[in-house]
Amino acid sequence: MIEKKQFGATGHLSTRALFGAAALAKVTQAEADKTMDLLEEFGINHIDTAASYGDAEIRLGPWLKQNRSKVFLATKTGERTYKGAKEELHRSLDRLKVDSVDLWQMHVLVDPLEWETAMSEDGALRAFIEAKEEGLVRFLGVTGHGITAPWMHLKSLEKYPFNSVLLPYNYTILQNENYRKGFEKLASICNEKSIALQAIKTIAKGPKEEDSGNRFATWYEPLSKPEDISFAIHWALSSNDQIFINTAGDIHLLPAVLEAFSSFSNKISDDEVKNFVNKKGITPLFV
């Protein structure tokens, strides 16, 4: 059984495993359908996709047409202007075959210049607020990659009361003092204001190397052995009880990831995780 928690102030009890639908970017419809069967088997009730995830929204469409009420549905836009964001939302709704989504997020909003555009009078934020007023979306969020993500999210929360944030969370990135301080401050505010805290790259091993033989669709090198995936996820779940974790962007990693969530029970010590990171050669994905 995968634990469920209140997803911020949305009122939805989401499984702590959120399906990262980037895994459906380049798969066939048959593979996507089989993946959705697996998610149902494990009781996953929260899907996180994005307009930029290849064919993911298209692959989700047939299943959502029949099962929309079973899940909390989130998508994202990388557009920074009012017009661009509004148009992309309507494309996403059409591709997903739904009338509305539960959460719409500004995707990878970490560049200062893009932030200024998005938050301007004719920026994406205006489209976000309008879409919420029109009932096309219920909640709004921001996502980010890189070392500056927590600090940029804090800046976004000063501008608008977003309902969720999403950013990297693993042992190695927390060894960066600047990132850790930003994350801790962000986590505290999220706890205080009931803002959902979503994690990504939890099973990242490091940057992808050309000669690594990486057979996975992820743009980084992931942990791939079931026991390693389990350790990394169990550490993340036990180290921060606020976070929801997006599953990795490859359908072939998904079974081991879901099994790891299902078997979670014990807290992992600092010494154990340090030894694990050294033994497995895990390196920072963002510097």
Render pLDDT for 55-98 as a digit per residue (tens, 0 to 9): 999 999 999 999 999 999 999 999 999 999 999 999 999 999 99
Confidence bin at 157 (pLDDT 50/70/90): very high
| 285 within domain boundaries | no
| 154 within domain boundaries | yes
Structural domain containing residue 21: 4-280
Check pLDDT > 80 for residue 214.
Answer: no
| 202 within domain boundaries | yes
% of the chain surpassing 90 pLDDT? 95
Q: How far apart are CA 20 and CA 110, in angstroms?
A: 20
Query: pLDDT value at position 211?
Result: 65
Gap between the terminal Cα atoms of the chain: 36
Helix (H, G, I), strand (E, B) or coil at 194: coil
- Residues with Cβ within 8 Å of 257's Cβ and at least 6 positions away in sequence, in order, are 17, 203, 229, 233, 247, 248
Query: pLDDT value at position 212?
Result: 62
Q: How many domains does the chain have?
A: 1
CATH number, domain of 101, equals 3.20.20.100
Check pLDDT > 70 for residue 213.
Answer: no
Closest CA to 218 of 197, 258, 179, 246: 246
Query: pLDDT value at position 266?
Result: 82
Q: Provide the 10 A C-beta neighbour count for residue 173.
A: 21
**What would the mean pLDDT of 118-128 be, rounded to a whole number?**
98
| 243 within domain boundaries | yes
Confidence bin at 121 (pLDDT 50/70/90): very high
| 33 within domain boundaries | yes
Check pLDDT > 80 for residue 103.
Answer: yes
Record the pTM. Answer: 0.97
Cβ-in-10-Å burial (0-12, 13-18, 19+) of 41 comes to exposed
| 287 within domain boundaries | no
| 286 within domain boundaries | no
| 188 within domain boundaries | yes
Query: pLDDT value at position 209?
Result: 78
Check pLDDT > 90 for residue 205.
Answer: yes
Query: pLDDT value at position 287?
Result: 85
